[in-house]
Amino acid sequence: MQLPLEITFRGLPQSDAVEAKIREKAAKLEHFCDHIISCKVAVEAEHHRQHQGNLYHVRIDLSVPQRQIVVSHEHHDNQAHEDIYIALRDAFDAAKRQLEEYARMQRGEVKNHKISPVAR
């Protein structure tokens, strides 16, 4: 990455363990695309649930040449995202898929469908 990783915590205290996991997963993204300019990760805890644990929202903003990739995982009804590590895993998996698609497009591996001329 050309710029340092930015990590923001909202509605929950900063955690060294969570930050280490984010840094590990962000470093792995560079295996799929080595042209990442910047990566910003925001982790937010939603505190409006009374009978169950908090849900976590993870947003990843990636800058690559000629494109901005944004992953925003909000799963209000998904109890799996009561675990911050599962929310991180799912968000980074989505970012990885988008980076792989971006890399395929950059290499010209994505099929372009030709538009057939309209008969007159």
Chunk the chain into consecutive blocks of 10 residues (it has 120) and report each block's average pLDDT, rounded to whole numbers: 91 94 93 87 78 81 92 62 89 93 81 58
- Specify the pLDDT at position 26: 94
Nearest to 68 by CA among 57, 78, 59: 59
- Specify the pLDDT at position 48: 58
Are 72 and 95 contacting, i.e. CB atoms less than 8 angstroms apart? no
- Specify the pLDDT at position 109: 73
Which pTM value belongs to this model? 0.80
- Specify the pLDDT at position 19: 96
Q: How far apart are the first and last CA of the chain?
A: 52
Which segments of the chain does DSSP mark as H helices, in order?
16-29, 84-107
- Specify the pLDDT at position 22: 96
Q: May I ask the CATH architecture of the domain 6-107? A: 2-Layer Sandwich (3.30)
